[in-house]
């Protein structure tokens, strides 16, 4: 029974299943048996789960004839098998029980190493399963080692790694100190599960508020978004599911006690708590506090927002090194452009003149008609061509005949422009891989071709800013440009993976051949 007692003790100490320990022992004894009887023997070991008795067997397969001398210890002919077992048939195994193994020093050492390795692997698997489920949690541990700013944290049953770039600026961590951090990734690697911690992750701040504010823990208040400039400033958006509870006040706490506890943990990081609202304009106005906002212009398609502030509020809205507007942009998920009233007026005047000129030249109309179209919200010839005639006819001073004539002229101009672009594209000889990319217009393709971008791979090699510079920021948003480039690069990685798999198959075929 001693072997079972050892298995139970090891299983309890390491926190793993007893069956795993016994299987490791069976494999270790099997390896020792092969060392004694020969590594070419098929030796199998079974430990009785009730009595602890070790049973060792040799297996030999019954075959018509042994074709390879290498298999003479794991096979025997039908004639030889019938001498041992008269009813033996081809394909079955003749099993011989072997005497108990007397472990020598080397065999015992080998068995010990096998058991330790198996137990270690099982322990790592348990750790990975345990901490994989805890990704996204805040955990507490003791600093074990600090090397060049990288910190190893003792988490009790495992170790966590806090890289230098995941620690707060000007934060001095010392051995033996207790520390809290956010588990943002758990990876299975050869040396065991690697648990990566962070104190700069937005989830760390959200977790701290969850610990300090009971209403967040209970789900009455929900954290919708977090934006951080670690160690300096942060913004957090919250919403209450109960109209009688003020989410901002609950997070601040009596005399600021709750938010102050989070600030202390984050080494004095300033925190703006903002009430979440579905209206993006109103939410961004709140997120840009303490600056005042005069006007907000939304572009839903590009998820871009222009915010107009008084001249004296410009620096406050932008913040030091653009911090305030950057955090508000991250928090809301919108690109935010800050401008003064004077800049906005100048920009609107410029846009009005540009659009008026476009309509005058493309439609061959006078200034009055061009100005009316711009005032009514038409921004391009495409807008005019796609708008129903009845809608255009509603403009003051227009009738259906005028509307129909304007739309015909718009369509003629577009057809002429498209024919010109198609002619240019033929001359540029762009690859089909580029022309078939969704989201690229004829005009964009011509501009790309003129800048020697003629294939999808050429486009994938561009940086986001380079692509926007070529086609224009009004034609393509930053987000769409990033998506387009990353889509091409993902196909590269897929092709590399397929090539690697094909190479492995070829190597395997050569080896088998």
Q: With 90 as the cut, is the pLDDT of residue 411 above it?
A: no
pLDDT at 415: 85
Contact 160, 196 (CB under 8 A): yes
Is 266 domain-assigned? Answer: no
- CATH code of the domain covering residue 175: 2.40.50.140
Same domain, 103 and 162: no
Same domain, 91 and 14: yes
In terms of Cβ atoms closer than 10 Å to its own Cβ (0-12, 13-18, 19+), residue 13 is exposed
pLDDT at 413: 86
Reported as a single tens digit per residue, the pLDDT across 66-101 is 877 777 778 888 888 888 888 888 888 888 888 876
DSSP-derived secondary structure for 425-458 = HHHHT--HHHHTSTT--HHHHHHHHHTT--SHHH
H/E run at residue 192: strand 192-198
Tokens encoding 94: 């003749």
Q: Is 223 helix (H, G, I), strand (E, B) or coil?
A: strand
Same domain, 89 and 148: no
Domain's final residue, options 94, 124, 154: 124
Is 99 domain-assigned? Answer: yes
Same domain, 119 and 89: yes
In terms of Cβ atoms closer than 10 Å to its own Cβ (0-12, 13-18, 19+), residue 423 is exposed
Instruction: Provide the domain limits for residue 283.
Output: 279-379
Give residue 432's region: left, alpha or beta (phi > 0; psi -120 to 50).
alpha
pLDDT at 375: 85
Angstrom CA distances, 44 to 17, 49, 54, 413, stand at 22, 16, 11, 85
pLDDT at 159: 82
- CATH code of the domain covering residue 355: 3.30.300.20
Reported as a single tens digit per residue, the pLDDT across 390-404 is 888 888 778 888 888
How many angstroms separate the first and last alpha carbons of the chain? Answer: 50
Domain's final residue, options 364, 379, 394: 379
Contact 219, 233 (CB under 8 A): no
Q: How many domains does the chain have?
A: 4
Q: How far apart are CA 459 and CA 461, in angstroms?
A: 5
DSSP-derived secondary structure for 365-404 = --HHHHHHHHHTT--SHHHHHHS-HHHHHTSTT--HHHHH
Q: How far apart are CA 424 and CA 415, in angstroms?
A: 14
Over the chain, what is the mean pLDDT? 82
Is 371 domain-assigned? Answer: yes
pLDDT at 418: 81
Reported as a single tens digit per residue, the pLDDT across 122-181 is 777 777 777 777 888 898 899 988 888 888 898 887 788 898 888 888 888 888 889 999
Same domain, 120 and 6: yes
Is 495 domain-assigned? Answer: yes
Is 397 domain-assigned? Answer: no
Same domain, 319 and 340: yes
Q: How far apart are CA 8 and CA 124, in angstroms?
A: 18
Same domain, 181 and 119: no
Tokens encoding 397: 């001073």
- CATH code of the domain covering residue 98: 3.30.1480.10
Please give the biggest Cα pair distance in the chain: 113
pLDDT at 238: 93
Q: How far apart are CA 466 and CA 375, in angstroms?
A: 34
Q: How far apart are CA 405 and CA 376, in angstroms?
A: 17
Is 252 domain-assigned? Answer: no
Same domain, 371 and 462: no
Question: What pairs with residue 57 in β-bridges?
Answer: 44, 97
Same domain, 118 and 166: no
Same domain, 89 and 160: no
- CATH code of the domain covering residue 473: 1.10.150.20
Is 375 domain-assigned? Answer: yes
Same domain, 140 and 100: no
pTM of the model: 0.59
Q: With 70 as the cut, is the pLDDT of residue 320 above it?
A: yes
Same domain, 192 and 287: no
Comparing CA positions, the residue from 108, 107, 83, 78 lying closest to residue 93 is 78
Reported as a single tens digit per residue, the pLDDT across 25-50 is 888 788 877 877 778 888 888 888 88
Domain's final residue, options 198, 221, 248: 198
Is 307 domain-assigned? Answer: yes
- pLDDT band with cut points at 50, 70 and 90 for residue 505: low
């Amino acid at each position: 029974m001693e072997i079972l007692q050892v298995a139970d003790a090891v299983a309890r100490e390491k926190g793993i299943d007893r069956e795993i320990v016994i299987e490791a022992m069976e494999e270790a004894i099997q390896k020792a048996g092969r060392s004694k009887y020969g590594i070419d023997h098929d030796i199998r070991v079974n430990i009785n789960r009730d009595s602890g008795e070790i049973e060792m067997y040799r297996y030999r397969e019954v075959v018509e004839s042994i074709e390879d001398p290498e298999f003479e210890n794991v096979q025997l002919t039908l004639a030889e098998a019938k001498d041992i077992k008269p009813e033996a048939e081809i394909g079955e195994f003749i099993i011989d029980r072997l005497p108990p193994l007397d472990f020598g020093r080397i065999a015992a050492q080998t068995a010990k190493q096998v058991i330790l390795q198996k137990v270690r692997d099982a322990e790592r698997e348990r750790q990975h399963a345990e901490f994989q489920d805890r990704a996204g949690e805040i955990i507490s541990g003791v600093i074990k080692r600090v090397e060049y700013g990288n910190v190893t944290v003792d988490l009790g049953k495992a170790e966590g790694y806090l890289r230098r770039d995941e620690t707060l600026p000007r934060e001095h961590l010392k051995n033996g100190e207790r520390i809290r951090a956010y588990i943002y990734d758990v990876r299975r690697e050869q040396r065991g599960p690697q648990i990566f911690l962070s104190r700069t992750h937005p989830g760390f701040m959200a977790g701290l508020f969850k610990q300090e504010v009971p209403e967040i823990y209970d789900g009455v208040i929900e954290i919708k978004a977090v934006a951080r400039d670690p160690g300096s400033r942060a913004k957090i958006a919250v919403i209450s599911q109960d109209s009688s509870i003020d989410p901002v006040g609950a997070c601040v706490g009596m005399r600021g006690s709750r938010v102050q506890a989070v600030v202390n943990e984050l080494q004095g990081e300033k925190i703006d708590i903002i009430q979440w609202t579905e209206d993006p304009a109103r939410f961004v106005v709140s997120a840009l506090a303490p600056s005042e906002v005069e006007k907000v212009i939304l572009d839903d398609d590009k998820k871009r927002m222009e915010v107009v502030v008084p001249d004296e509020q410009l620096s406050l809205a932008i913040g030091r090194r653009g911090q305030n507007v950057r955090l508000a942009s991250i928090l809301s998920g919108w690109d935010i452009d800050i401008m003064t009233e004077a800049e906005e007026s100048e920009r609107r005047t410029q846009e009005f003149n540009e659009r008026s000129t476009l309509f005058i030249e493309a439609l061959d109309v006078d200034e009055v008609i061009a100005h009316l179209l711009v005032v009514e919200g038409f921004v391009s010839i495409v807008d005019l061509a796609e708008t129903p005639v009845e809608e255009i006819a509603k403009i003051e001073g227009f009738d259906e005949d005028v509307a129909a004539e304007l739309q015909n002229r718009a369509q003629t101009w577009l057809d002429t422009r498209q024919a010109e672009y198609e002619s240019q594209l033929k001359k540029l000889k762009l690859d089909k891989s580029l022309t078939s990319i969704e989201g690229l217009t004829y005009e964009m393709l011509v501009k790309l071709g003129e800048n020697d971008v003629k294939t999808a791979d050429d486009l994938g090699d561009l940086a986001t800013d380079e692509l926007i510079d070529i086609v224009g920021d009004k034609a393509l948003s930053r987000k769409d440009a990033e998506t387009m480039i990353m889509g091409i690069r993902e196909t590269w990685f897929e092709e590399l993976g397929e090539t690697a798999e094909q190479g492995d198959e070829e190597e395997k075929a050569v080896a088998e051949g």
